[in-house]
Structures are given as structure tokens and as C-alpha cells.
Amino acid sequence: MCGILAFFSARGDAATQRDAVAGALECLHHRGPDETGVEVVSAPRAPGADETVEGPTDAVFAHKRLSIIDVESSHEPLAYADGRYLLTFNGEIYNYLELREELVRECGAVFATQGDAEVVVAGYHHWGEQVLNRLRGMFAFVIWDRRERVAFGARDYFGIKPMYYMDSADGVYFASEKKALLALAGPRPVDAASLSHYLTLQYVPEPRTLHVGIKRIGSGELFRWTPGGGVELERWYRPVFRPAPVDDEQKVFDRIRDTLRDSVRVHMRADVPVGAFLSSGIDSTAIVALAREFNPRILTFTVGFDVDGYSEISVAQDSARHLGVTTIPTVIGPQDMMDALPKIVWHLDDPVADPSLVPLYFVAKKASEHVTVVLSGEGSDEFFGGYTIYREPLSLNAVQRLPDPMQRGLRAVSRVLPQGVKGKSFLERGTTRIEDRYYGNARMFAEAEKRDLMRRNDGSVRYTDVTAPIYAECTELDDVTKMQYVDLHTWLRGDILVKADRISMAHSLEVRVPFLDKEVFDVASMLPVELKLPPRSTATKHALRRALDGVVPPPIVNRRKLGFPTPTRVWLRDEMYEWARDILATSGAGDLLDLDYARNLLEEHRRGDADHSRKVWTVLVFCVWYGVFVDHTIDPGIERNPSALLTKPAVRAAV
């Protein structure tokens, strides 16, 4: 796992940016504290040019390395094919051994390292852009072809690893985290549309960021860049659900189990210790149960709170005993949460108002004291139908099958019913298309509420701006699978994977997610609705649970999902009330948000008039973000130890 930063000059003067890029790279130190590499790449010389005269330079490549595979070698930036290519790579390729063997056997490839990064650039040399479809893993990388003067790069299938970019007249920058680009760009205005989406979704959706002029390469996207042109983006992978009838259910269950077992096996490839997160649910427990088949002594880590109903530690400990593995618990309190939030927000780059970030921060910190890599259970719910809300279309079938005139009549009835009357919400949802009703797991502020909260909101930005193009790609699917498809492109990318990457890397810990494997998705994508959400049942992920029966402890097979629950609701009424009140009173974000409106929400929450905890938390996280990244009134308290600077030529000559 690593941090990458690259600059490609449109003017042939990349060398002038070498020191600035090297300085900005230090913002990514946490992603790779083991080694630092910075190289300037010269442009091809004209025939007969005087080689004693310094020529133009095309690029600066910079890299922070967390050494996991081929620890003693595989230094980056990494050159290949006699220096024709230079690579900076972030991620892990789990089938690199198989690809390496194929490249040697079929293409005569020669390797100087034993790592997975060189397989990526060798694959690009021999297979071109089609190398992407052969990679099994998580990745974000940049390759410069000195001969053709073309930059090429991509993000992985599901967006596990991040990539930001900033285009300008001088050239283009790419980085693992936005903060490195901000260090180069200086102050940037807040993007009002992105703020509006954040207040609805609790995260900023791809490809946007909260800073104008800085964007993300989308999940499953590649890019190309040449000195004479801008960034050309292309989607190289789109997950396709293709539900099909099942003749033999047991064969399906067996295939799910066997595919997941193989994914866990390859995800454990490393030259450093590998552990696992363990909560009370089936996803992480399944990963641990399968991982111990390959390492019976695997260490696991769990987290909880000293508040009734908000700790998974006891269940995780029972599962660990059943599986015969050790689990190391961490208990956190409200002061821990308050103290850590500025650091967490700094690592996130853009605000994510998911309270589970806090327990994840502390369990990752504890894990990093023992291992360098952990396995985690992200992606299972989106692949296999794990969210309770996915049952909603099944419950609304009776209404949605009615003729349109009857639906319009029921919709009119729902409008005149007072708020809180039983059946009002059911009629509203049942007479509203899924495309207008569902936009993800998190639903913070409604459009009417945002008109009161936001200082600048003309109502022109809506959640459908994000979801409409996604729905347009899956018109042939049933409503349940449409919801999964939307979550794959929004919630998973914007919340789940952002927090998994940033919060683990905050502690120089690599998180691997065996569910988010293209082979696992191929199996999950074919499941019909009745095998995900069986009729006349409240269960979710039915096929996965059946597949894991006998693998995970019996009490866990049908246990409902919790996912590191956080007592924000409780603490904002008591221990964290004054802290929250102080943030709202001193924040400089009042030019963008009506903080009096937010204070009223906090007071109503404290009195018990309503549960506004998630809305208040959404505003608090933004205020902390504003203080860290905009007016710099909040010091996140980031400390760094220097990493070794690799000794390499200041300028690498072109071939």
C-alpha cells in the first residue's frame, strides 16, 4: 500500500516542480512510511541535440511506500523495459504470481523484482490497456511511456483505492489523496453543489470533491494524458448484475463459499503479518473463519463502547473462541471521539458523516500495533443484498401493481394526511418510482431542510443529479437489484470504501476486502431476488448465509447487521453536548450554513424532542472540515516521522 503523486508538464519544465512535488508528497507520509522516492523524467531529445545542454523535462514521479510484498526490493518509482516506462502504484494485485508466470511463458517478459507492481507495468508493455481486465486486486496507478510520451493510469473495479487529479494550463497532477494537491494548488473555493450533495448523502459523490478544480478518477475508470491534450477519461469496467433462475440452489451456495474461500486465500498473500477485523456480524466472521484455514494463528481486532447496546465485543469474543483465534478488543469513550475527529477529518480529505469512522479509527490503530495488513468484510451487503431497506420494494408490491389512476389517487390521499399518521409514508413510497425514491443508505437533510440550512441554495442541485445516470444504466433490472446497483456506485464508493482506505492508512495499515473481488461479484451478480431476500422472511443475504452455514458459528449465521454501532445519539445529549455547541458557536462555516438552524437541532435533540443526532453530526463534521481545510482554525495534530529517501538520479534520461 502506498501514496502516489505525479506531475506531467505541458511546457517541458517539470523539473521546476520537483521540490514542490517532493514537499507535497509528505502529506501522504502515513500511506507509506517505509520509503520515499522522487524522480524527474526528461523529455526525448531531438536528433543531434547537444547532450551537454539540459533539455526539457516531462514529469515528476513521487512515491511513499508501505512495504508488504517483496519488501527488500520493488522500490518505486519503478522503471521497466530499459527505462521506457516509469510506474507509481498503489494497491495489491492478488494474482500477480499467476500473471508473472504467464508473462514470462507467453511473452518472454523479464523481471527485476519479485513484487506485484512490476507485473502491472510489464502487463501494460505486453498487453496494452487490456492488462486491466487481467488484474485481480485493488489498485490505482500511473504509468509514463517515455517513448510515446503518454501517461496512462486507472482505478480498480469497485473503487477500493483512490486517485485524485488536478488539471491546469501548466500540466496535470495525480495523487492518492486530495491534500497533496491542495498543498500544490493553494486555497480553493468550496464547491456549493458538492456541499449540497454531502448534506443529503453524508458524503461527496464521485467524481466531485468539495474543492473547485480538484476531481477524482472514477471507480473503474482509466485515463490517458499527452502533453498536447487534457485528461481523457474512459470507463473500463462496469459491474453488471444478471440475475438468472436457479435449478440447484445447493450448487449456488457451494459456488459462493468456494469462490469466497479462494478470494480470502489470495488476499492473504503478503510478506508481512496479516490480521482481520472482527465484529458481531456474518461478514467479518466469515472472513476470519476462512482466513484461519490458511493461518490458524491469525490475530483479530474488535471495538466497542461502554454503553448498553453499542458494543460488539462480547459477541466477537464468543465468535473468536468458537473459531479458535485470538481477538484484541478496544473500548472507546466520548472523549476519544472528540479528540480524534480533527485527525479523522484531515485523513478523509472530504467530510464523511458516518459515525462508524470513529470506532474504525481506533480499531485500525490497535491493529497497526500488531500487523501491517488486515482483512475486512466490506462489499458483502452491496453484492449479496444485505441492507434491510432492500426489502422495501417487496413490501410495496401490492401498491405498485395497481393501475396508474389508482396510484395517483392514493398519492393524493397521502398528501393530505398529517405527518405521523400511520400509512402516510407507505402510500408515499408505494406510489413513487424507485428512481425518485431511493438514493442510498444515508438520507440526511431533505431538500426543504437544506433550503433552511444552506446560505446559498436555489434548489437546482438534487440527489437525482447523482442517481439518474446510474438508474439509466440498469433499466432492465428489478427494483431490489437496482438499489444494489445504485449503492455500488454511490454508497459503497462514497462512504464505505473511503473510510476503509483513509482510516486504515491513517495508521499505515493496509485493509484488504475479499468480498470486493471480481470473481466473487461474478457469482453474486447472478443471484435472483428470491435467493437474496426470500419471500415471507425478514432475512437478508439469504444465499450468502446458506453458503456459510457450517463455516461461521451458528449464532452468527442469521444475526442482523450492526457494523460498529456508535452511541452518537446518546453522547450528543450529554457528554458531547458542550463540545458540539462550542464547534457550532466558533465555526467559520457560517457563510455557507445557517449554524443557528443547526444549534436548534442540537437543542431539540438534547431535550429529547427528536433524534437529530445524524443531522447534527453531519453539520459538526463539516464544521471541523471547514476549520481544518478552509480557514485553518483547527489543527488536526498530525505528526510525522521521516521515511528513507531513495537515492536515485535527479533526472532519469529518456529512451
Q: How confident is the model at residue 469 (pLDDT cuts 50, 70, 90)?
A: very high
Nearest to 568 by CA among 602, 527, 614, 630: 614
Lowest mean pLDDT among 377-386, 389-398, 565-574: 389-398
CA distance 197 to 79: 41
Nearest to 253 by CA among 550, 539, 558, 518: 550
Is cis: bond before 77, omega within 30 of 0? yes
* Beta carbons of 182 and 199 less than 8 angstroms apart: no
* Rg of the chain over all Cα atoms, to the nearest angstrom: 25
Chain length of the chain? 655
Percentage of the residues of the chain whose pLDDT score is greater than 70: 95
| Model pLDDT for residues 337-383, shown as the tens digit of each residue | 999 999 999 999 999 999 999 999 999 999 999 999 999 999 999 99
* Beta carbons of 63 and 644 less than 8 angstroms apart: no
Q: Is 51 helix (H, G, I), strand (E, B) or coil?
A: coil
Question: Residue 643's pLDDT is what?
Answer: 63
> Averaged over 573-584, what is the pLDDT?
97
Number of Cβ within a 10 Å radius of residue 395: 11
CATH number of 249-386+488-557: 3.40.50.620
pTM of the model: 0.94
Question: Residue 655's pLDDT is what?
Answer: 47
Nearest to 287 by CA among 201, 379, 368: 379
Q: How confident is the model at residue 641 (pLDDT cuts 50, 70, 90)?
A: low
Could you tell me the CA-to-CA distances from 166 to 214, 217, 386 in Å, in that order? Answer: 5, 10, 36
| Model pLDDT for residues 128-143, shown as the tens digit of each residue | 999 999 999 999 999 9
User: For residue 6, is pLDDT > 50?
Assistant: yes
Which helix (H) or strand (E) element contains residue 285? helix 282-291
> Averaged over 263-279, what is the pLDDT?
96
* Beta carbons of 389 and 441 less than 8 angstroms apart: yes
| Model pLDDT for residues 450-459, shown as the tens digit of each residue | 999 999 887 8
User: For residue 613, is pLDDT > 80?
Assistant: yes
CA distance 433 to 416: 20
CA distance 451 to 446: 9
CA 394 to chain centre: 29
| Model pLDDT for residues 181-239, shown as the tens digit of each residue | 999 998 899 999 999 999 999 999 999 999 999 999 999 999 999 998 889 999 999 99
Q: What is the pairing mode between strands 373-375 and 510-512?
A: parallel
* Beta carbons of 139 and 153 less than 8 angstroms apart: no
| Model pLDDT for residues 396-429, shown as the tens digit of each residue | 887 878 888 887 887 787 787 887 777 777 888 8
Domain edges within the chain: 2-237, 249-386+488-557, 389-485
Q: Given the C-alpha cell 467524481, which residue does it identify?
A: 207
* Beta carbons of 7 and 172 less than 8 angstroms apart: yes
Residue 184 CA neighbour count, 13 Å, CB half? 32
> Averaged over 382-395, what is the pLDDT?
93
CA distance 464 to 472: 11
Alpha helices per DSSP H over 9-108:
18-25, 96-107
User: For residue 646, is pLDDT > 60?
Assistant: no
Q: E-strand spans in 317-422?
A: 326-332, 373-375
CA distance 603 to 622: 19
Could you tell me the CA-to-CA distances from 314 to 287, 320, 355, 545 in Å, in that order? Answer: 18, 10, 21, 21
Angle, vertex CA 304, rays to CA 299 and CA 306, nearest 5: 140
CA distance 55 to 58: 10
Query: Which cell numbers in the block locate residue 58?
Result: 516531462
Task: Judge whether 2-237 and 249-386+488-557 match in fold.
Answer: no
Query: Which cell numbers in the block locate residue 160?
Result: 477500493
CA distance 464 to 474: 15
Nearest to 480 by CA among 378, 394, 380: 394
Query: Which cell numbers in the block locate residue 47?
Result: 536528433
Q: Who's near 275: CB < 8 A, 6+ residues apart?
A: 298, 299, 300, 301, 367, 370, 371, 373, 374, 375
Q: What is the pairing mode between strands 274-277 and 299-305?
A: parallel
Which position among 2, 27, 474, 623 bears the catalytic label? 2
Catalytic, 107? Answer: no
Query: Which cell numbers in the block locate residue 580?
Result: 458540539
Q: Given the C-alpha cell 482483512, which residue does it identify?
A: 375
DSSP-assigned letter for residue 61: E
CA distance 8 to 549: 52
Cβ-based burial of 295 (10 A; exposed 0-12, middle 13-18, buried ≥19):
middle
Question: Residue 582's pLDDT is what?
Answer: 98
At the topology level of CATH, where does 2-237 sit? Glutamine Phosphoribosylpyrophosphate, subunit 1, domain 1 (3.60.20)
CA distance 88 to 36: 11
Query: Which cell numbers in the block locate residue 313?
Result: 465485543
> Averaged over 282-305, what is the pLDDT?
96
Q: Who's near 413: CB < 8 A, 6+ residues apart?
A: 427
Could you tell me the CA-to-CA distances from 214 to 165, 204, 351 in Å, in that order? Answer: 6, 13, 15
Question: Residue 432's pLDDT is what?
Answer: 86
Query: Dihedrals φ, ψ of 144, to 5°?
Result: -115, 125
CA 245 to chain centre: 32
Question: Residue 651's pLDDT is what?
Answer: 46
Biggest CA-to-CA distance, the chain = 84
At 78, which amino acid appears?
A: L
**For residue 215, what are the β-bridge partners?**
165
Could you tell me the CA-to-CA distances from 337 to 169, 292, 348, 604 in Å, in that order? Answer: 42, 32, 15, 22
Question: Residue 52's pLDDT is what?
Answer: 52
